Amino acid sequence: MSIKEKQEEITKAMKEWQTLENKAVAQTAKIMTETDHPLIRLVMEVIQRYSNMHHRVQQMIIDGFEQEFIGISPDDLVRVWDSIEDHIKLEKKTIEMAQAGLAALEGTSKTVLQQYLLTYLLVDEQKHDKMLADLDTIKKGMFKSA
């Protein structure tokens, strides 16, 4: 398959994915009208916001093909790396905090809500850490997809 064909295929898939994200926004809104429970509502709101973010990410994947200037080079990262390094430390600290919270609640009763939310936060903070680790790999000119 030519590069052009691959770009078209990915673009088509991203657009389909964006329709799913739009549906996710509508579905989570519907669920929020069906319950007053604060936890369920919060989970739906989190998913809804992520669906909006995912839509934007998919758009950048598309735009990156269409507009030459959207690319990323090691130099782009080197320019802001001191600040990113500080941020990496912050993310690592939040992972430790989530782990400490979960460890403190282990085996306790009536803390399902707290454990559920801390588990969510832990995974989310680990994702941020991974995103930054991948930027580091791009900075080193060594990024390869799996």
Query: Which residues contact Fe ion (rule: CB under 5 A)?
Result: 54, 91, 125, 128
- Looking at beta carbons only, is 41 or 128 nearer to Fe ion? 128
- Looking at beta carbons only, is 41 or 54 nearer to Fe ion? 54
Element (H, E) at 31: helix 3-34
Q: Is 141 left (phi over 0), alpha (psi -120 to 50) or beta?
A: left
Minimum Å gap between C-beta 101 and Fe ion is 15
Provide DSSP, 77-112: HHTTHHHHHHHHHHHHHHHHHHHHHHHHHTT-SS-H
Minimum Å gap between C-beta 1 and Fe ion is 26
- Looking at beta carbons only, is 25 or 74 nearer to Fe ion? 25
Minimum Å gap between C-beta 120 and Fe ion is 12
